[in-house]
Amino acid sequence: MSRTARGPWVHWVTLCAGLVLLLAVLGFYAYAASAPATPSHLPASRALGEAREEGPLAQGNASLGERMRRMPPKTVTLAFFGGPDPKWTPRILDLLRERRAHATFFVQGTRVNEQPDLVRRMVAEGHEVAIAGFREPDPTTVSRLRRGLELTLAQGALAGAAGVHTGLFGAPVGVPREAMADIAGDGYVLVTPDRDSGDLPSRPDDHQDQAATTGKLAAELASGAVIRVRDRGSVDADAVRWMLTVLEPQGFRFTTVSEPIAGGPTHSAAGLFSRLLGSFLGVAQRHGGTLIVLLNAGIGLIALLALLRSIMQLGLAHTARRLRAERAADPPPEYAPPVSVLIPAFNESANIANAVRSLVDSDHRAEVEVIVVDDGSTDGTGDIVAALDLPGVTVVRQPNAGKPLALNTGVRYARHEIVIMVDGDTVFEPDTIRQLVQPLADPAVGAVSGNAKVGNRKGVLGRWQHLEYCSGSSLDRQILDALGCITTVPGAVGAFRKAALRAAGGLATATLAEDTDLTIAISRLGWRVTYQPFARAWTEVPSTLGGLYRQRYRWSYGVLQSVWKHRRSLTESGASGRMGRYGLLYVGAFHLLLPLLAPVLDVYVLYGLFLAEAPMAVFIWLAFLLIQTVSAGYALRLDGERLAHLWAYPLQQLVYRQLMYVVVIQSLITAVHGTRLPWQSNVRTGAADRELVNSAARGLPGRR
């Protein structure tokens, strides 16, 4: 497998193919399970009378129908309709094998899919298998297109079960022959039974009537007959046993419809494609019900997770906001330590100048040291910073080694105990540093997460990411802050105590989400990690679908790596156990499991709307969308954002969400395969540069 991420179109194609396959299974199951009402036909007695006059075989395009219309004398075909039945068909087959007799089974396609082993046994024991339709009602009363579908599906069922096709069609009792002209025109030989087992003389109750009844039965069948037998009950099985017992000694022969002419069953071998398609449809019908159960379970789990997150949002996030408001009303003395700001930069020429200027323009009252680590840039990033000639700004150059090692280099050069890490495309507001370091006045706090905001939010893709940052990342941090187990201090804006960094061993290269890995490690060592929503940093997000996919693929895969790396915290005690049982489980439930279940909701809606005729699925989806939209609106309110962008949220759920669960699914597959992805940096266009600066200068309402 390639070590590089494939383009998103590959995964879209894979996802669409998977959804089409799943919907095909569900659609076929729904079609097979929904049999329409059985139509009324001519009375059975009249129909059987017509069959006796014209013969049981109606002429079709096949050679069998052209050469024969009646059975030879003393030749009887037992034509079993309605099966195969899991209870009675095996008994009938045992009886026929015992008597060395053969019969023709006019099977229903749905029952063939349910009992393929019985059909294989019929063929193996020399019986003839023909079709009577796919579902219980006959196909002679529907449109030509629908009838063609029914017969094709019935033939597919035979091909999947026994690898054969048939040219015989069993006409339902009571259907006039003119109604089946189209079927004959398609090359089928139409077989209409001229007797019914229920109308024949039945087995007498006493020995004295035995000879008379047997003679009457033999006389009625002496000219040959095709006897319709229901393959569904003990009465019919007893009638078959009695006929075989009393008629065989009198020279009657029980054989298939086509044996007198063709010398045996007229099956033809099905092609490979027909066999594969038939097998697929058989599996779909047999296991479609299980998929429906799993689908309903998935919807229930999605609803539970959505409700749980809403409760946590209303409770924990609101409580965290209230506590911050109380502290703001009676603030402690301002904490103003000297800080070292580290910027790992690789080909950041588009934004690096504004990023550095925003740090130098900080209103923090103590010294701000800015260290730009030029990690082997090829676009002159380091030269741009050097040319600015700003006070307190140092450029450190090194060969390209990746972001984690660049940050470790910066930590070694940093002169101050408080270290702030910033991405090269990020612009700080004037008070961001001052806001960010306030929680570090408490010596138990080892790291502080700032609030990363989307700067280039004018386009639809930018708006969607803005909504995601607010209703996802920011809201998650507020909830996890209340639980005391923040899992990620973002690389765009975060402050660390050097002692915590040293205790955690610095930034590791074992995962692609070095910020998540470091944050979890610091928390497991007993340091508190907190969230400061008013420490805002404006960052450039991907402006293309491909760039967004690559970024989120790296994030999602890195989070999976980090969760796996720290999995032992789930069973540990103390601060490490708290991180495992709260933080990691939260990430697993809402960042991994919920996106994995998201396709279930889409499939549920499509299945209910177009296949199962269940419009309630749409109402469930709309209710889910309403809950998500209200949640997003509340998150915007908590983050001090205007609600004007909320109009884009329903559209985001229709398009953007699908991309996100493709990312999670592909990340999980990659993790299971053990593939290690290389670092994937996004291309900075600089198109949002002015917008970033304006956003940072403007800030947002509600700043403290």
Taking the C-alpha atoms of residue 623 and residue 119, their distance in angstroms, rounded to an integer, is 47
Q: pTM of the prediction?
A: 0.71
CA dihedral 497, 503, 509, 515 (to 10 degrees): -40
Classify residue 574 as left (phi > 0), alpha (psi -120 to 50) or beta. Answer: left
Coil/strand/helix, residue 181: helix
Q: What is the mean pLDDT of residues 30-50?
A: 54
Q: In this model, does residue 344 exceed pLDDT 90?
A: yes
Report the alpha-carbon distance of residue 503 to residue 410 in Å, rounded: 17
Contact 550, 10 (CB under 8 A): no
Question: Which has more confidence, 167 or 684?
Answer: 167
Structure tokens at 19: 């959804």
Q: What is the pLDDT of residue 273?
A: 92
Output Rg (C-alpha) for the chain, integer angstroms: 38
The dihedrals phi and psi of 497, each to the nearest 5 degrees, come to -90, 130
Strand-strand pairing, 189-191 and 168-170: parallel
Determine the pLDDT at residue 5: 45
Pair of tokens at residue 315: 């409770």
Instruction: Please count the other Cβ atoms lying within 10 Å of the Cβ belonging to residue 370.
Output: 24
Structure-token match 């961001």, residue found: 432
Looking at residue 21, its pLDDT comes to 83
Pair of tokens at residue 185: 């025109």
Give the model's confidence band at 116: pLDDT under 50 very low, under 70 low, under 90 confident, else very high: very high
Measure CA of the first residue to CA of the last residue in the chain; give whole Å. 50
Question: Per-residue pLDDT averaged across 568-580, rounded?
Answer: 93
- The domains of the chain, with CATH numbers, are 35-270 (3.20.20.370), 295-698 (3.90.550.10)
Task: Name residue 408's amino acid.
Answer: N
Residue 478 pLDDT > 50: yes
Which one-letter DSSP state was computed for residue 489? -
Residue 421, pLDDT score: 96
State the pLDDT confidence band at 647, using cuts at 50, 70 and 90.
Answer: confident
Do 21 and 693 touch, CB atoms closer than 8 A? no
Q: What is the pLDDT of residue 139?
A: 67
Per-residue pLDDT for 57 more than 60?
Answer: no
Among 67-81, 270-284, 683-697, name the most confident range. 270-284
Q: Can you read off the two tokens belonging to residue 588?
A: 């697993």
pLDDT of residue 129: 94
Residue 681: predicted pLDDT: 54
In the structure, what pLDDT confidence band is assigned to residue 94 with cuts at 50, 70 and 90?
A: very high
More confident residue, 77 or 621: 77
Query: Contact 377/416 with Cβ under 8 angstroms?
Result: no
Q: Which of 350, 530, 509, 375 is nearest to 426 (CA)?
A: 350
pLDDT of residue 164: 93
- Average pLDDT, rounded, for the chain: 81
- Name the 3-class secondary structure at 129: strand
Q: How confident is the model at residue 138 (pLDDT cuts 50, 70, 90)?
A: low
Helix, strand, coil % over all residues of the chain, rounded to 5: 55, 15, 30
Lowest mean pLDDT among 172-176, 423-427, 638-642: 172-176
Alpha helices in 263-420 (DSSP H): 272-312, 318-329, 352-360, 381-388, 403-413
Query: Distance (Å, rounded) from C-alpha 315 to C-alpha 321?
Result: 10
Q: How confident is the model at residue 700 (pLDDT cuts 50, 70, 90)?
A: very low
Q: Is the pLDDT of residue 687 over 90?
A: no
With vertex at residue 675, the alpha carbon angle to CA 670 and CA 681, rounded to the nearest 5 degrees, is 85
